[in-house]
């Protein structure tokens, strides 16, 4: 009696269709219908990008911040990780942590900007340009009220608020309201005093 190879019975892991990738015609509807085994992805101008796995330090900071927000945010908010935001009809981004309005659908791969209160990016060597320059512009254009950028080594948090008036670009932009490597104190999105040591691995 011989055993059949198990590999022949296992389905291949999900991956984007190369033809559709070349055509750049993926949509938000496609992201809603991703299979459960799909990796973390972002949709950039109709092309699906697999989000690379973060480093251990990055994961530690992300997890600690998520836990801190879950513990301290008012009940009308909910902190989540590894869920995207639809910044346009053809683009999604996946903040490391986001704070959203509580309630509503919880099984989707992304939220609309109206559901998101705060987007947080933990900066890594491979994401510095995107997290410092590109994502803040996209989040601001989508109308997300608050953005935090967390730098590593040492951990330092920069907190931004969406400006009430258009900036030099003619669009609403983020303005820095606080930054600290020790204690981040803010009145919004809720009154908070975040000891940076509590999100430092």
Residue 4 lies in a domain: no
Looking at the chain, the whole-number percentage of residues with pLDDT higher than 90 is 59
Both 38 and 63 in a single domain? no
Q: Same domain for 23 and 96?
A: no
Residue 172 and residue 96 share a domain? yes
Indicate the number of domains in the chain.
Answer: 2
82 shares its domain with 28: no
Highest mean pLDDT among 27-41, 96-110, 129-143: 129-143
Is 7 a domain residue? no
Domain span at residue 26? 15-50
Residue 77, SS3? Answer: strand
| Mean pLDDT score of the chain | 90
Tell me the C-alpha distance between 176 and 148, whole Å.
9
Q: Is residue 5 part of a domain?
A: no
Q: What is the CATH number of the domain that holds 63?
A: 3.90.1570.10
Lowest mean pLDDT among 27-41, 50-64, 74-88, 138-152: 27-41
The two tokens of residue 188 are 């919004």
Q: Is residue 94 part of a domain?
A: yes
The answer to whether residues 36 and 63 belong to one domain is: no
Q: What is the per-residue pLDDT for 39?
A: 82
* pTM: predicted TM-score of the whole model, two decimal places: 0.85
CA distance 85 to 142: 9
Do residues 34 and 61 share a domain? no
pLDDT for residue 64: 98
83 and 30 share a domain? no
d(CA 73, CA 146): 14
**Residue 15, C-beta contacts closer than 8 angstroms, at least 6 positions apart:** none
**Do 63 and 46 belong together in one domain?**
no
10 domain-assigned: no
62 with 138, same domain: the answer is: yes
Section 175-183 average pLDDT: 98
User: Quick check: is 20 in a domain?
Assistant: yes
Query: Which pLDDT value is given to residue 161?
Result: 97
Does residue 30 lie within any of the structural domains? yes
When comparing pLDDT for 133 and 108, which is higher? Answer: 133
pLDDT in tens, 67-93: 999 999 999 999 999 888 999 888 999
**What is the per-residue burial (b if ≥16 Cβ within 10 Å, else e) of 151-165?**
bbeebbbbbbbbeee
Look at residue 8 in the predicted model and tell me its pLDDT.
Answer: 59
Average pLDDT over residues 152-163: 96
**For residue 4, pLDDT beyond 80:** no
pLDDT at 7: 52
Higher per-residue confidence, 126 vs 175: 175
The pair of three-digit structure tokens given for residue 125, joined into one six-digit string:
């060597």
Is residue 188 domain-resident? yes
The pLDDT of residue 58 is above 90: yes
Q: Same structural domain for residues 20 and 89?
A: no
């Amino acid at each position: 009696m011989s055993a059949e190879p198990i590999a022949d019975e296992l389905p291949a892991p999900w991956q984007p269709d190369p033809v559709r990738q070349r055509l750049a015609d993926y949509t938000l509807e496609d992201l809603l219908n991703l299979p459960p085994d799909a990796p973390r992805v972002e949709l950039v101008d109709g092309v699906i990008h697999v989000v690379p796995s973060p480093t251990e330090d990055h994961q530690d900071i992300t997890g600690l911040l998520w836990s801190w927000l879950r513990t301290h945010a008012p009940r009308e908010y909910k902190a989540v990780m590894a869920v995207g935001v639809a910044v346009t009809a053809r683009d999604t981004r996946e903040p490391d942590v986001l704070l959203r309005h509580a309630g509503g659908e919880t099984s989707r791969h992304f939220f609309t900007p109206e559901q998101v209160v705060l987007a947080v990016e933990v900066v890594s060597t491979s994401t510095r340009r995107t997290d410092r320059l590109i994502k803040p512009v996209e989040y601001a254009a989508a109308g997300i009220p608050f953005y935090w950028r967390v730098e590593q080594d040492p951990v330092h948090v920069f907190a931004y608020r969406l400006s009430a008036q258009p900036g030099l670009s003619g669009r609403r932009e983020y303005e820095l309201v606080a930054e600290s490597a020790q204690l981040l104190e803010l009145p919004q999105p809720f009154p908070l005093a975040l000891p940076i040591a509590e999100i430092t691995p």
